[in-house]
């Protein structure tokens, strides 16, 4: 099935195990909902200026305990700028991060080609970065980037003691700390600490508004006043200071206000789903129990058969179970990422059991 037909089929479903039903709305419906919640007298921003965007920057900065923040259209923009700022201040191009860092595997070497930075990959791509890994680094580092949680290994998080030990190691060496917090909101139930306490470990913080919060798009970079003043200059240099960003800001604000308090419920449901799926002899879950509302699911079977079975369930039962299968490290297993949002809260554990029993049976017969 081509991607466009697959997307159309997903939109035709009435229930989704992954993500939020709202994100399956048409563009017109999304904009209509946003307009209905907007003050008719509200004025749009102009090149990042205006009460709408500045008030939202203050709101998020207060939540994360940072002096100020800058709303940006993408996390790619925000993180490259953050590392450039730290490198310039320390007069070294070396920045350290995990081998599966977004900057390394999804951004076409932008940090290197646009900013002249040298990425120092630390640790194994199949597990969390550890303090022991860092002690083996020999280059002088401008900054250490930590991703909380680590998306490519199933949303794993270090314990609080492990995290603070790494932070102390960096501080003792005058290495700046930056957090890739694309999913930082989802980390709070695991740590049971305020967002300000978590963010307080880092000099600069990036957060996303379009993932579990469900915004249209958008990110924010937060830190000291002088860092963010310079970040605005780099945002302009990158062409990221758009003339209007109010739809993104309004959507981000709506997501923050409606979904932030649901993170614990999403996490609890992820733990339940992991237990349900792990009971199947054909399924492995990583991590188990999940650290956040995300888990990676490995199903033993043929990729084409599993894909077809999932599409058949979508057509016949109007239930969207899986976005995409990816090859696992073990060829006999196929992997998919399951992120719990509003959609999963509508399913009982018994329903999930029956759906995956059907998936496995149909995939087996197809192969």
User: In a structure prediction context, what are the per-residue pLDDT tens digits for the chain, which is 367 residues long?
Assistant: 888 899 899 989 999 999 998 666 788 988 998 999 899 999 999 999 999 999 999 999 999 999 999 999 999 999 999 999 999 999 999 999 999 999 999 999 999 999 999 999 999 999 999 999 999 999 999 999 999 999 999 999 999 999 999 999 999 999 999 999 999 999 999 999 999 999 999 999 999 999 999 999 999 999 999 999 999 999 999 999 999 999 999 999 999 999 999 999 999 999 999 999 999 999 999 999 999 999 999 999 999 999 999 999 999 999 999 999 988 788 899 999 999 999 999 999 999 999 999 999 999 987 6
Residue 38 CB coordination number (10 Å)? 15
Helix, strand, coil tally for the chain in percent (to 5): 50, 15, 35
Tokens for 136? 């083996």
Query: What is residue 24's predicted lDDT score, i.e. its pLDDT?
Result: 63
Q: What is the pTM of this model?
A: 0.96
Tokens for 23? 């994100």
Q: What whole-number distance in Å separates Cα of residue 200 and Cα of residue 183?
A: 16
| Of the candidates 246, 294, 285, the residue with the CA atom closest to the CA atom of residue 267 | 294
CA 187-216-70 angle, to 5 degrees, is 70
- Domain covering 27-258 in this structure, CATH number: 3.40.640.10
Query: What is residue 73's predicted lDDT score, i.e. its pLDDT?
Result: 97
Query: What is residue 225's predicted lDDT score, i.e. its pLDDT?
Result: 98
Three-state DSSP class for residue 357: helix
Domain residue limits, the chain? 3-25+262-366, 27-258
**CB-based contact 86:142 (threshold 8 Å):** yes
Q: What whole-number distance in Å separates Cα of residue 316 and Cα of residue 194?
A: 44
Three-state DSSP class for residue 71: strand
Classify domain 3-25+262-366 at the CATH topology level: 3.90.1150
DSSP secondary-structure letter at 45?
P
Query: What is residue 25's predicted lDDT score, i.e. its pLDDT?
Result: 75
């Amino acid at each position: 099935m081509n991607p466009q037909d697959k997307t159309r089929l997903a939109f035709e479903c009435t229930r989704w195990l992954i993500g939020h039903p709202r994100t399956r709305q048409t563009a017109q419906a999304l904009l209509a909902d946003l307009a209905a919640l907007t003050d008719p007298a509200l004025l749009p921003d102009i090149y990042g200026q205006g009460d709408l965007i500045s008030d939202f920057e203050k709101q998020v900065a207060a939540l994360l305990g940072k002096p100020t923040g800058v709303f940006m259209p993408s996390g790619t923009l925000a993180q490259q700028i953050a590392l450039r700022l730290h490198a310039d201040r320390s007069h070294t191009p070396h920045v350290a991060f995990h081998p599966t860092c977004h900057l390394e595997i999804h951004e076409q070497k932008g940090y290197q080609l646009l900013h002249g930075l040298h990425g120092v990959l630390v640790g194994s791509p199949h597990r969390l970065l550890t303090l022991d890994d860092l002690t083996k680094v020999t280059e002088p580092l401008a900054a250490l980037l930590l991703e909380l949680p680590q998306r490519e290994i199933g949303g794993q998080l270090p314990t609080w003691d492990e995290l603070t030990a790494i932070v102390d190691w960096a501080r003792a060496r005058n290495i700046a700390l930056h957090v890739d917090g694309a999913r930082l909101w989802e980390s709070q139930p695991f740590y049971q600490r305020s967002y300000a306490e978590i963010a307080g470990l880092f000099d600069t913080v990036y957060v996303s508004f379009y993932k579990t919060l469900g915004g249209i798009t958008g990110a924010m970079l937060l830190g000291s006043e002088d860092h963010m003043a310079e970040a605005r200059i780099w945002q302009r240099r990158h062409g990221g200071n758009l003339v209007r960003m109010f739809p993104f800001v309004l959507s981000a604000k709506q997501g923050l206000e409606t979904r932030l308090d649901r993170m614990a419920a999403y996490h609890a449901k992820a733990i339940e789903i992991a237990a349900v799926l792990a009971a199947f002899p054909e399924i492995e879950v990583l991590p188990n129990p999940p650290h956040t509302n995300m888990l990676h699911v490995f199903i033993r079977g043929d990729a084409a058969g599993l894909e077809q079975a999932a599409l058949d369930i979508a057509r016949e039962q109007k239930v969207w179970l899986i976005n995409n299968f990816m090859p696992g490290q073990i060829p006999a297993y196929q992997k998919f990422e399951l992120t719990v949002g509003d959609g999963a809260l509508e399913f009982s554990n018994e329903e999930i059991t029956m759906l995956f029993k059907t998936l496995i049976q149909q995939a087996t017969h197809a192969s």
